[in-house]
Structure formats: C-alpha cells, structure tokens
C-alpha cells in the first residue's frame, strides 16, 4: 500500500474523531469563563491568543494552509504575520522569523496551579467539601461506593474516576482493559533580562518548544516524550530546546531547581473517556484528555454532572463512552 493511500485512510479515520473532539473544545472557553467569574480569577487569564512562529517560508506556507482548513471546517479564527510583523510583535527576538500564525481566540493562563486553586476555593465557598488524600480504588458499598482518601472512608451513590494517568491502574483493578498510555513533557522557568521582556506565547514549531510569559518567569515547554509513566526522567529534550531558544530569545538563569515533568493521560484514539463505567452502576469515568486536561476540565465536569443528574447533556457524550473500547 502506498504512502499516499495510507495518508488518505488516516485522514478518513481522523475526521469523525476531530468532529467529536471539537464539540468539547468549542465549549471550553464558555465553561472556563463561568468558573473564572465565580472564582474572581480574571487576573490569571489572558485573551490575546498565541503565536506559532516559523523560521522558513515553506513551513509557514504549510501552516497557513492548515489554518485555512481549520477555519473552513471548524470556524477557527487566525491572523498571519510576516517576518516584519513578528519582529514588531516581539522586538527582543534575536533571530529572524519568516512569519507566524496567530490563533486569536485562544486564552492563556498566567499560572495554572493558581487557577485550579481559585476554582477549588470557589467550590468550597459555594458549599462544596474538599477532602485531600491518596485515593484508593473505589469499592462497592451497599447501594453505592466507598473510596478511601488516605485513612478516611467516603461513601457516595456516584463516584467519578478522574485520576489522569493513574486512571489506567484504577480501572484495571476494576476489570477494565482500556488502551491508555502517557505522553510525558518537561518545562523550566527562566529569568528575563531587564528591559527585554517576552510579550506573548510563542511556539517555535520547526524546533518543537514553546516560550510563555508566566507569573514565575519565562516558561519553556518541550514536545512530547513517549515513555512509561514511572520511568526515570530524561530531560534531554529540554536541554536541546533550551540551547535553540537561547539563540532566539535572551533567556536568563534557570529558576527551578529541577525540570518539571508531567505525564499526560492519552487514549488510543486521542479522545477522552467520559461517561458511565460499562459494567458498574454509579461509577463514572473522566480521563484521557492528553495535553488538554486543564482546557477541557470544566466542560467535562458539566457533561458528567448532566449525565449523572439526568439532564440534557451540553454535547453528545456517546463518542467519549468507554464502550468504544470494551
């Protein structure tokens, strides 16, 4: 079979997945907006998009063609900057870019941990109870479920497994064999040079890293690493990206004692698993969001709440059911 045919078959298989995924993505900003307002967290959010920058004309042209396709298929808005436009946008770049694609609808977060904490505080203020502990596998208890959070037992009629990369082990203990794996990533914060700030989120896609102005400093985020979840950290990609980034922008000293590493929970078809556990009444799944856990958290929570309470769901949940794998 020729490569052209393989690519065509891949596009056909990917199309329905992309359409299903888009139903969640297109709701993500509205659901975050409601929580941001409830939590009073507006200062943590920027609404001026981000930029995919390219060093060469052919790479920029291919990216523009891809952006135009996304615009036609999904209504995604974007602008295109030439090299002079990128230089005006970020005057402290030390390398010349051919241009950039500006995704104008995108929101960015100045400090993700602070945003999650603000959401949690708002939940408690609204009457919710927050219990912290190392959760064990849910066990049937009467008409519902018991979860041990450390030494504390918690019983409920409905339980949601939303444990990210740890969901694989928890669901396996309950008899499920879902095709889950992790993609690991690394990041590091750097000091900026006085008078030479980075103004925008900027991805150097021909190399494979992102620079982002955060509260803590300038964050460099790497691409994906395929590895076992518990394998030792191998931040070689970060070191290679940092060397390239320092040629493009005046990064200062490293600010973190060690690179941060996270495991992104992924599924074989890259759609999250959201919905009822196929063989356990009152048990629900919400994991497998890959790189988009923070982005899709609020809409996932709403969708689950609507299914649990019997309300009309905000989007069609069936493409995300675990039954597609069971």
**pLDDT computed for residue 142 by the predictor:** 85
Here the tokens at position 81 are: 């900057």
Query: Whole-number mean pLDDT of the chain?
Result: 93
**pLDDT computed for residue 13 by the predictor:** 73
**pLDDT computed for residue 45 by the predictor:** 97
**pLDDT computed for residue 150 by the predictor:** 80
**pLDDT computed for residue 221 by the predictor:** 96
Per residue in 8-38, pLDDT (tens digit) is 445 557 888 989 999 999 999 999 999 999 9
Residue written as token pair 């964050």:
219
**Averaged pLDDT for residues 183-198:** 95
**pLDDT computed for residue 11 by the predictor:** 54
Three-state secondary structure along the chain?
Answer: CCHHHHHHHHHHHHHHHHHHHHHHHHHHHHHHHHHHHHHCCHHHEECCCEEEEECCHHHHHHHHHHHHHHHHHHCCCEEEEEHHHHHHHCCCCCCCCCEEEEECCCCEECCHHHHHHHHHHHHHHCCCCCCCCCECCCEEECCEEEEEECCEEEEECCEEECCHHHHHHHHHHCCCCCCEEEEEEEEEEEEEECCECCCCCEEECCCCEEEEECCCCEEEEECCEECCCCCCCCCHHHHHHHHHHHHHCCEEEECCCCCEEEEEEEECCCCCEEEECCCCCCEEEEECCHHHHHHHHHHHHHHHHHHHHCCCCCCCCHHHCHHHCC
**Averaged pLDDT for residues 104-125:** 96
**pLDDT computed for residue 323 by the predictor:** 97
Rounded distance, CA 102 to CA 88, Å? 14
CATH topology for the 181-266 domain = D-Amino Acid Oxidase; Chain A, domain 2 (3.30.9)
Provide the residue ranges of all domains of the chain, joining segments of one domain with +.
48-106, 113-125+135-179+268-324, 181-266
**pLDDT computed for residue 326 by the predictor:** 80
Per residue in 222-252, pLDDT (tens digit) is 999 999 999 999 999 999 999 999 999 999 9
On the question of pLDDT at 7 being above 70, the answer is no
Per residue in 145-165, pLDDT (tens digit) is 999 888 889 999 999 999 999
Rounded distance, CA 313 to CA 65, Å? 34
**pLDDT computed for residue 132 by the predictor:** 87
**Averaged pLDDT for residues 199-217:** 95
**pLDDT computed for residue 8 by the predictor:** 46
CA atoms within 13 A on the CB side of 61: 3
Per residue in 244-301, pLDDT (tens digit) is 999 999 999 999 999 999 999 999 999 999 999 999 999 999 999 998 999 999 999 9
On the question of pLDDT at 204 being above 70, the answer is yes
Here the tokens at position 317 are: 């949940």
- Domain 113-125+135-179+268-324 grouped into CATH 1.50.10.10: no
**Averaged pLDDT for residues 68-80:** 93
């Amino acid at each position: 079979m020729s490569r052209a045919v393989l690519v065509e078959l891949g596009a056909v298989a990917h199309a329905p997945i992309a359409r299903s995924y888009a139903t969640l993505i297109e709701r993500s900003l509205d659901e975050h907006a409601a929580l941001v307002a409830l939590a009073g967290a507006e200062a943590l959010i920027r609404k001026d998009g981000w930029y995919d920058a390219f060093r060469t004309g052919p790479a920029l042209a291919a990216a523009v063609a891809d952006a135009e396709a996304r615009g036609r298929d999904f209504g995604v808005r974007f602008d295109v900057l030439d090299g002079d436009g990128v230089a005006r946008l970020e005057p402290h770049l030390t390398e010349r870019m051919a241009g950039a694609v500006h995704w104008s609808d995108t929101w960015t977060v100045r400090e993700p941990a602070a945003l999650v904490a603000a959401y949690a505080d708002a939940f408690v203020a609204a009457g919710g109870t927050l219990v912290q502990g190392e959760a064990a596998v849910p066990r049937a208890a009467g008409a519902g479920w018991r979860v041990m959070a450390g030494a504390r037992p918690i019983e409920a009629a409905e339980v949601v497994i939303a444990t990210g990369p740890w969901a694989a082990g928890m669901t396996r203990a309950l008899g499920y064999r879902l095709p889950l794996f992790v993609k690991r990533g690394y990041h590091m914060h750097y000091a900026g040079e006085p008078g030479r700030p980075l103004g925008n989120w900027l991805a150097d896609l021909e190399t494979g890293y992102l620079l982002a102005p955060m509260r803590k400093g300038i964050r460099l985020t790497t691409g994906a690493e395929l590895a076992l979840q518990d394998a030792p950290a191998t931040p070689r990609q970060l070191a290679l990206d940092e060397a390239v980034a320092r040629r493009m922008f005046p990064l200062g000293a490293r600010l973190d004692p060690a690179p941060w590493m996270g495991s992104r929970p992924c599924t074989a078809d890259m759609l999250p698993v959201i919905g009822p556990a196929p063989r356990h009444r009152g048990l629900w799944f919400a994991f497998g969001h890959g790189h988009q856990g923070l982005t899709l958290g609020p809409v996932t929570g709403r969708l689950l709440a609507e299914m649990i309470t019997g309300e009309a769901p905000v989007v069609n949940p069936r493409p995300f059911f675990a039954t597609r794998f069971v």
